[in-house]
Structures are given as structure tokens and as C-alpha cells.
């Protein structure tokens, strides 16, 4: 942590009535939630204990960060960035968990002590698995402070709640995804991972998401903070959809940003390695270690990797509600948002 700590943004507890309601839906949280800063970013109660450590984490100029709102193609982008930065070291990528090569700064906030105790009991008799349960509950700022440079760091925090990483000179890749696909993927993960333990319908989940009551929300404020920095020389704003549309071109774009250059054949090998069919079954990236410890359901972390499949989940009524919300939030912005419609053609939503 810095010798001159910045003052943590003000926060307030979620009101009692909403907390009582949500604790019945999100079984992984046992205490409640807080709203942080002027934009009321939504986090579990442990932010009160750990927020200062995250906010005043000492970044280094050699750090490379991948930022996003959850379920925006983060893991895919992490592995891409790590391999491009490390001269396509597939051997290490195939033998060392991405979570170790590219730690998640704030995941500890979602490991409520009572839930960690339940994980330890579930894995009783297996010291290795119990150690993993303890490890994921350790604050990321402590884990990362002990790592040598160059470090690779994942975070879903918005820029305003991070420790001035643009000022330090870090390289930052931010990946965004259309909110309908984000919400569907976020719903499935909240159901599958016991640190969230969501028990409810998708429509109920969408209402929480739209009303900024899922972790790291509000979604639009998160994106707009990043979009405002898109021209910063150390900041690369990418859309998940543009990566899918022309992955070869996207890889070249990220390579250039990272100061790397690769031959066409090398990029094609990388594309094959990162193809969703291979990526989904790669135990180094698909949270297999959490599955083996009974923390997450098998096959739920890396799902289909497609865009536009939100239409399989939304009712027409909910789609209309979502569209109105999206259009309202795109008003008076220059945010150009690529998405895939139901016919899988590329279109631009622009107000």
C-alpha cells in the first residue's frame, strides 16, 4: 500500500428491506451489501473491510491490467494478453492456472467467512483443496504485493475505484460486451458459483441488474468511465463483439498496444489455441480448480462464448424493457456500441 494513502470514497449500506429480500436470493452473501462512491457501485459487505487495501494498492508501471464489467469476455482477453505479452509461451499457459498467472484483484470480497468455512468442510480431508479455499479468500492486494514484476492483474473494479493505474503508467486493456449477453452470462454464473449462490429466475436477475443491484454495477457508469479514457495512450478499449467479428485483426490491435509483433502463422496458432471449442475445455482457464473444490458447477465458467444468444433467454416483454433501458443510457453519449442481432449480423447501435 502507498505511504500516502488516498481517502476511500464514501459508502453506505443497502437499505434493510432490500437487503433482507436479496439475502434470500443470493445465498453466498450472509451479511449484506454496500453502495460505494458517487455512482453507488454495488459490492458485498466485505468491501468495508478490504476496500482501502484495493483503493490504495501499489501499482507498478510494469503492470498489465485487464478490466471489464463481469462476463464481458474477460477470461478470453486475459489469456490473449498474457500470451502476447509472454512471447506466446504456450507451454506455461498449458501447465499453470490463469488465476495464478493473472490474479483477480478483488475476488476475496466475495468469499464470506461463513461460506469459506463451508468450503473447508466440503473438502475435509483434502489439504490441497482446503488450501485453495483459503487462498481464494486472501485479499488480492496481499497476494499481488508479493509477486515479482511484470505482474498481470484482472479486475472488475471501475477506474474510479482503482489505485490511479493510468497515472502510474500501467498498460490497461478494457473489454466491454453488450448488456443483454452480459446479463445472461452473469445470471448463469451467479447461479453456478457458490460465492454468489443466486436462487431466482432470469427476469428477477435482470431487474437486479438493470437497477444496479448486482456486483460491480452500475453497468453503464462502469463502461462510460472506461470509454472516456479510450484515447489515453496506455488504455485500449475493446468490444468483445469486435474481437469475435475479426479476431485476427483484434489480435494485431492488442499486440501493437502491448508493443509486440508476431508473424501471421504465429497469430493463426494463437487463434486456434483460443478458439472457443478448445478454450472451453482448457482446465487452465475454465476454473477447473474451483469445480474440483465444489465451489462452481462444471461447464459454467466458460460457456458458449457467442454473441446474440441472449434472445434464447429474454421474453419479448423483457426484451422491450431492456431495449428501452439501453436506449435511455445511450442518449447524450458518443458511445458506439457494436452488437450482434438475432440474425448474427454485425450492427452498430448509435443514438
Active site residues: 156
- Taking residue 221's Cβ as centre, other Cβ atoms within 10 Å add up to 19
| CA 180/CA 339 separation, integer angstroms | 10
Q: Which residues of 151-168 are buried (b: 16+ CB within 10 A; e: fewer)?
A: bbbbbbbbbebbbebbee
DSSP 133: H
| Residue of 159, 160, 183 whose CA lies nearest to 326 | 183
| Sheet order of strands, 235-239 included | 152-155, 64-68, 171-176, 235-239
Output the nine-digit C-alpha cell for 177: 460486451
Phi/psi for 346 (5° steps) reads -85, 130
| CA 165/CA 167 separation, integer angstroms | 5
Output the nine-digit C-alpha cell for 305: 462464448
- Tell me the CA distances in angstroms from 30 to 115, 196, 208, one per residue in order: 8, 10, 18
Give Cβ neighbours of residue 343 (< 8 Å, ≥ 6 apart): none
Q: Name the one residue in this structure whose C-alpha cell is 468455512.
A: 117
| CA 320/CA 268 separation, integer angstroms | 40
Amino acid at each position: 500500500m502507498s505511504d500516502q494513502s488516498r481517502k476511500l470514497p464514501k459508502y453506505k449500506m443497502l437499505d434493510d428491506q432490500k437487503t433482507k429480500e436479496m439475502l434470500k436470493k443470493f445465498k453466498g452473501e450472509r451479511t449484506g451489501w454496500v453502495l460505494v462512491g458517487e455512482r453507488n457501485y454495488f459490492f458485498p459487505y466485505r468491501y468495508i473491510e478490504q476496500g482501502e487495501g484495493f483503493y490504495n494498492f501499489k501499482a507498478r508501471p510494469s503492470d498489465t491490467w485487464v478490466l471489464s464489467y463481469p462476463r464481458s469476455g474477460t477470461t478470453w482477453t486475459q489469456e490473449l494478453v498474457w500470451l502476447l505479452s509472454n512471447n506466446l509461451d504456450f507451454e506455461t499457459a498449458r501447465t499453470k492456472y490463469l488465476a495464478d498467472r493473472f490474479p483477480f484483484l478483488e475476488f476475496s470480497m466475495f468469499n464470506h467467512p461463513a461460506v469459506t468455512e463451508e468450503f473447508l468442510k466440503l473438502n475435509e480431508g483434502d489439504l490441497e483443496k482446503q488450501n485453495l479455499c483459503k487462498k481464494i479468500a486472501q485479499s488480492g492486494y496481499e497476494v499481488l504485493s508479493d509477486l515479482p514484476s511484470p505482474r498481470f492483474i484482472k479486475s472488475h473494479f471501475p477506474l474510479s475505484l482503482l489505485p490511479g493505474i493510468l497515472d502510474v503508467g500501467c498498460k490497461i486493456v478494457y473489454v466491454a460486451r453488450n448488456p443483454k449477453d452480459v446479463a445472461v452470462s452473469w445470471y448463469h454464473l451467479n447461479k453456478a458459483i457458490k460465492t454468489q449462490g443466486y436462487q431466482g429466475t432470469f427476469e428477477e436477475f435482470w431487474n437486479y441488474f438493470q437497477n444496479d443491484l448486482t456486483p460491480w454495477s452500475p453497468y453503464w457508469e462502469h463502461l462510460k468511465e472506461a470509454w472516456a479514457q479510450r484515447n489515453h495512450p496506455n488504455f485500449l478499449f475493446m468490444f468483445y463483439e469486435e474481437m469475435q467479428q475479426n479476431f485476427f485483426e483484434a489480435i494485431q490491435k492488442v499486440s501493437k498496444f502491448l508493443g509486440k509483433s508476431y508473424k501471421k502463422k504465429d497469430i493463426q496458432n494463437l487463434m486456434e489455441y483460443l478458439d472457443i471449442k478448445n478454450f472451453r475445455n482448457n482446465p487452465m482457464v475454465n476454473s477447473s480448480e474451483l469445480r474440483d473444490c465444489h465451489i462452481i458447477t462444471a461447464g459454467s465458467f466458460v460457456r458458449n462464448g457467442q454473441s446474440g444468444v441472449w434472445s434464447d433467454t429474454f421474453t419479448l416483454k423483457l426484451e422491450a424493457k431492456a431495449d428501452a433501458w439501453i436506449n435511455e443510457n445511450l442518449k447524450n453519449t458518443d458511445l458506439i456500441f457494436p452488437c450482434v442481432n438475432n440474425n448474427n449480423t454485425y450492427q452498430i447501435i448509435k443514438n
